[in-house]
A and B are shown apart, each in its own frame.
Chain A
Amino acid sequence: MKEIKKINSIEELKSTIKDQTLFRQAEQKAVLFVSAGTCGQARGSLKVIEALEKEITAQNLKEKVLVKVTGCHGFCEAEPNIIIQPHNIFYQHVEPKHAKDIISETILNNTVIDALLYTDPISKDSIPKEADIGFYKKQKRIVMGDNALIDPTDILDYMSVNGYSSLSKILDEKTPEAVIETMQKSGLRGRGGAGFPTGKKWAFSRQAKGNPKYIICNADEGDPGAYMDRSLMEGNPHRVLEGMIIGAYAIGAEEGYIYIRDEYPLALQNITKALESAEQMGLLGKNILGTDFNLQLHISKGAGAFVCGEETALIASIEGKIGEPRQRPPYPAVRGLWKRPTNINNVETWATVPVIFANGADWFSNIGTDGSKGTKIFSLVGKINNTGLVEVPMGITLREVIYDIGGGIPEGKEFKAVQTGGPSGGCLPKEHLDLPIDYDSLFQAGSIMGSGGMIVMDENTCMVDVAKYFLNFLRDESCGKCLSCREGTQRMWEIVSSITEGSGKDSDLDLLGQLANAVKDASMCALGQTAANPVLSTIRYFKDEYLAHIRDNKCPAAVCKDLIQYSIISENCTGCLACIKPCPQVAIKGELKQIHILDQNKCIKCGACFEVCNFNAINVE
């Protein structure tokens, strides 16, 4: 670990950054960048790192090879993955047993290990370079890109990729007003969900009367299947901090909070570490870099309530009250934390700020569409070949993200819908695949951008079941203050559940529609106002599926257990006995080379027999 010295002036910071960038360029060693975010660690990257280091010591190569533990590279499907520089090779699914080969073959002999390369699912070609992989080709990784290059626990490493240069530039040259003007010109909109123009928000907070003012980083990412904020805090916490310092300078805040959920241990650890290093270096605290600008940041841990991502609930939670939203106006910019003007931005928004100042507002506003500028990180999950975090310019179509970057649907199945915007978002069908991804287009189609969750569903997904899943999430996570949201989500869940159980009535759809509209209209905060989206969008695009459940008592995707039946097709059954053992209910009887018999009274519809049958002899309907 390099020693952290306090920096006393802007000039000194500039020269440190310069030294560090030169230091990186002059790097003579071969560097192995191992992704070790939460996802990488879950797939065993820590063991890989251990094995690599052991191998390096064994071969006495410490002077020549460096293992760098980085945050998430984004390509979760390929975890644990390693990028080797200067060879520029991308290895995926690395296991500890490969360590020896990587060191002796690739590093020492310069030969590529074919078995560890990424294979294109369509052309079956092995691709050695990261940039040539379909997953990365169409991405524009201006915010997330550095994740793969730096050690998140080392502030100097962040400086070696020009980190904190935006801050030094701003403190040296710009007035707070000029900073806000640049932000407004850049057209950046909040990445947390609502898409409010960030520059405007800052301007409101700056103009608001009251002292002290506060800034807050909303790191309470709660959408199921969304983890871009976690990845940024794990992989590049200093970029988030730099954004916050710039924001505080622009607004005139001297104190701030990072509200982070406690379920993100690694992110919490890295951001805490980053905060400490920044304080030691003098980038936080009193008289930052010899100027009269002071900023103190604190970390506040959330207990995992989804509703605390709503800004007024988040403020209540920091204040130690129940995490319940309150009426806006007054907006936090006027009356926020401890009743003082407060500016809240999401992690991704803060992390985008330094990028804008490093490259200019014009450069940023040239990316994206008229109404939505820049790039957005999406977490592409569900039934998709390349699961991972993708950063794409606004205005790219859903088709490009799902097929070109995501590599399409596994096992050649058909695409059915994509759910954007988390539990409050909507499901968009095939007809909308060519929809450009931006705040306004998604809203018009009945969904929202949200914080950037993107769950892909294939033909085996039942849309009524999807609506039920999200309603169940929302009835748990509603704060329960508004009757409309608390009772509304509960009742909608009851109705949808009864439909999936086969006791739905024709009038249910009407009632659902009315109730959904009332919940949307009558609730106080964004959670309630969007809670009806999963129901409304599935009814809008997949009404026939609801009708099949209600009228024919059938689940077309064969998901809803009460509406399906497993049976053995006697023509196909070879009597192989394969399905008998996995059946937990001992519902299948039969002898070798005799057609098996399934006892419907015992069957619990777990589908285990269906999974193992190699002869398509199990029928589901």
Chain B
Amino acid sequence: MINMKINNLDVNAEEGWSILETAKFYGLEIPTLCYNEGLSQFGGCRLCLVEIGEGPGSKLVSSCTYPAEEGLFVRTDTHRVFEARRMMIELMLSVAPGSKVIQDLASKFGVKQMRFTVRNEECILCGLCVRMCAEQMDGHAIGFQNRGHKKKISTPFDMRSEECRLCGGCMYICPACQLRCQGPDADTAICNGCLTLDPSCLDTYDELQCWMYTAGRCGTCVQEKPEKSNSEDNEKTME
């Protein structure tokens, strides 16, 4: 059993769990996109970023790939995490603005501007279809090609694959090409039609982000560098 802290809560993780799995077990929400319980972890979309460590040595890691470690100090909703996550969503939007999944993420995380040239490619290379095809359908019909900005998903040599059984698993799991955004401004790069949808917690109070701001704290969020007596009080209240 691994003992660690997520958002200042003492948690126990099984050997082999990732930070994300541990957080999910305790009901702590971390947004994901390229993660799927039935598939191997990938760590490509960088949405599930969390901050590990304290002080100047702290860093951001993708919680779906980072293993739970003894004594790890994890924060899931710091400003640094939010800044990076918002930028990731903005980058995704610029590539696939038609995707409802991504527009919803933008709404949820308050991404209100899109400052890059829109490309309308619709594929954000999250690799879900590749893993779905290989791991669940045992098809291995599609894969990644090239690297860097030329990277794409396709069949070998871009030809009709003999391995493909037209099962449609790739389309089923795709977060970008299936659900279209039906918001009031679906044609613009940024819709924000669902802005009030399920906001998450911050480690410091932020009226834009915390929907319980006026009512007080929900209990999971933590203020930066809590004083000892305070955190003891918190634990008592939570009990």
The yes or no verdict on A and B being binding partners is yes
B148 partner, pick from A329, A479, A514, beta carbons under 8 A = A479
**Which residues from chain B contact A480 at a C-beta distance below 8 Å?**
125, 144, 146-151
A407–B47 CA distance with the chains assembled, in angstroms: 50
B87 partner, pick from A322, A478, A479, A515, beta carbons under 8 A = A515
Q: Is A342 an interface residue (CB 8 A)?
A: no
Q: Is A521 an interface residue (CB 8 A)?
A: yes
Q: Which bracket fits the contact residues of A? A: 35 or more
**Which residues from chain A contact B94 at a C-beta distance below 8 Å?**
487, 491
A607–B177 CA distance with the chains assembled, in angstroms: 48
Q: Which of B116-145 contact A (CB under 8 A)?
A: 116-117, 124-125, 127, 144
Tell whether, in the assembled complex, residue A329 and residue B67 are in contact, meaning their CB atoms are under 8 Å apart: yes
Tell whether, in the assembled complex, residue A475 and residue B148 are in contact, meaning their CB atoms are under 8 Å apart: yes
**Min CB–CB distance A51 → chain B (angstroms):** 45
**Min CB–CB distance A179 → chain B (angstroms):** 30
Given A327-B62, A329-B67, A523-B46, check contact A486 B116 (CB 8 Å).
no
A479–B144 CA distance with the chains assembled, in angstroms: 11
Tell whether, in the assembled complex, residue A327 and residue B43 are in contact, meaning their CB atoms are under 8 Å apart: yes
A56–B115 CA distance with the chains assembled, in angstroms: 70
Tell whether, in the assembled complex, residue B91 and residue A483 are in contact, meaning their CB atoms are under 8 Å apart: yes
B44 partner, pick from A307, A474, A482, A511, beta carbons under 8 A = A482
Determine chain A's interface SS by DSSP, over half rule: helix
Q: Which of A474-515 contact B (CB under 8 A)?
A: 474-484, 486-491, 494, 507, 511, 514-515
Q: Is A524 an interface residue (CB 8 A)?
A: yes
Q: Which of B142-190 contact A (CB under 8 A)?
A: 144, 146-151
Tell whether, in the assembled complex, residue A479 and residue B46 are in contact, meaning their CB atoms are under 8 Å apart: no
Q: Is B221 an interface residue (CB 8 A)?
A: no
A478–B144 CA distance with the chains assembled, in angstroms: 14
A524–B46 CA distance with the chains assembled, in angstroms: 9
Q: Mark B49-87, 1 if CB is under 8 A from A, else 0.
A: 100000000011110011101000000000010011001
A393–B163 CA distance with the chains assembled, in angstroms: 58
Tell whether, in the assembled complex, residue B125 and residue A486 are in contact, meaning their CB atoms are under 8 Å apart: yes
**Which residues from chain B contact A330 at a C-beta distance below 8 Å?**
67
Name A325's closest neighbour in chain B (CB-CB).
B43
**Which residues from chain B contact A329 at a C-beta distance below 8 Å?**
66-67, 69
Given A327-B66, A480-B148, A483-B124, check contact A521 B84 (CB 8 Å).
yes
Tell whether, in the assembled complex, residue B148 and residue A491 are in contact, meaning their CB atoms are under 8 Å apart: no
**Which residues from chain A contact B80 at a C-beta distance below 8 Å?**
521
Tell whether, in the assembled complex, residue B147 and residue A479 are in contact, meaning their CB atoms are under 8 Å apart: yes
A272–B65 CA distance with the chains assembled, in angstroms: 38
Q: Is A171 an interface residue (CB 8 A)?
A: no
Q: Is B92 an interface residue (CB 8 A)?
A: yes
A476–B124 CA distance with the chains assembled, in angstroms: 17
Tell whether, in the assembled complex, residue B148 and residue A487 are in contact, meaning their CB atoms are under 8 Å apart: no
Q: Is A113 an interface residue (CB 8 A)?
A: no
**Which residues from chain A contact B144 at a C-beta distance below 8 Å?**
322, 480
Q: Is A526 an interface residue (CB 8 A)?
A: no
Q: Is B111 an interface residue (CB 8 A)?
A: no
**Which residues from chain A contact B65 at a C-beta distance below 8 Å?**
326-327, 524
Q: Which bracket fits the contact residues of B? A: 35 or more
Tell whether, in the assembled complex, residue B84 and residue A522 are in contact, meaning their CB atoms are under 8 Å apart: yes
Tell whether, in the assembled complex, residue B44 and residue A481 are in contact, meaning their CB atoms are under 8 Å apart: yes
Tell whether, in the assembled complex, residue B147 and residue A305 are in contact, meaning their CB atoms are under 8 Å apart: yes
B116 partner, pick from A327, A491, A517, beta carbons under 8 A = A491
Given A327-B65, A329-B67, A480-B144, check contact A518 B84 (CB 8 Å).
yes
B45 partner, pick from A322, A474, A477, A483, beta carbons under 8 A = A483
**Which residues from chain A contact B43 at a C-beta distance below 8 Å?**
326-327, 481-482, 524
A460–B200 CA distance with the chains assembled, in angstroms: 51
**Which residues from chain B contact A514 at a C-beta distance below 8 Å?**
83, 87
**Min CB–CB distance B80 → chain A (angstroms):** 7
Q: Which of A318-364 contact B (CB under 8 A)?
A: 322-323, 326-327, 329-330
Q: Is B30 an interface residue (CB 8 A)?
A: no
Tell whether, in the assembled complex, residue A478 and residue B148 are in contact, meaning their CB atoms are under 8 Å apart: yes
Tell whether, in the assembled complex, residue B91 and residue A491 are in contact, meaning their CB atoms are under 8 Å apart: yes
Q: Is B88 an interface residue (CB 8 A)?
A: yes
Tell whether, in the assembled complex, residue A475 and residue B149 are in contact, meaning their CB atoms are under 8 Å apart: yes
Q: Is B95 an interface residue (CB 8 A)?
A: yes
A320–B146 CA distance with the chains assembled, in angstroms: 15
**Which residues from chain A contact B44 at a C-beta distance below 8 Å?**
481-483
Given A491-B94, A491-B116, A522-B46, check contact A484 B88 (CB 8 Å).
yes
Tell whether, in the assembled complex, residue A522 and residue B87 are in contact, meaning their CB atoms are under 8 Å apart: yes
Tell whether, in the assembled complex, residue B147 and residue A518 are in contact, meaning their CB atoms are under 8 Å apart: no
Tell whether, in the assembled complex, residue B92 and residue A483 are in contact, meaning their CB atoms are under 8 Å apart: yes
Tell whether, in the assembled complex, residue A477 and residue B148 are in contact, meaning their CB atoms are under 8 Å apart: yes
A488–B148 CA distance with the chains assembled, in angstroms: 10
**Min CB–CB distance B130 → chain A (angstroms):** 11
**Which residues from chain A contact B46 at a C-beta distance below 8 Å?**
482-484, 522-524
Top 7 A-B pairs, shortest CB-CB distance: A480-B151, A518-B87, A327-B65, A487-B91, A522-B84, A490-B149, A478-B148
Interface CB pairs A-B, < 8 A, 28: A305-B147, A322-B144, A327-B43, A327-B62, A329-B66, A329-B67, A330-B67, A475-B149, A476-B150, A477-B147, A478-B147, A479-B148, A480-B125, A480-B148, A481-B44, A483-B92, A484-B84, A486-B125, A487-B94, A487-B95, A488-B91, A491-B91, A517-B84, A518-B84, A518-B88, A522-B46, A522-B88, A524-B62
Interface residues of B (CB under 8 A from A): 42-46, 49, 59-62, 65-67, 69, 80, 83-84, 87-88, 91-92, 94-95, 115-117, 124-125, 127, 144, 146-151
Known: A478-B149, A521-B80. 17 other contacts (CB 8 A): A322-B144, A323-B147, A329-B69, A474-B148, A475-B148, A478-B148, A482-B46, A483-B124, A486-B125, A486-B151, A491-B91, A517-B84, A518-B87, A522-B49, A524-B46, A524-B61, A524-B65
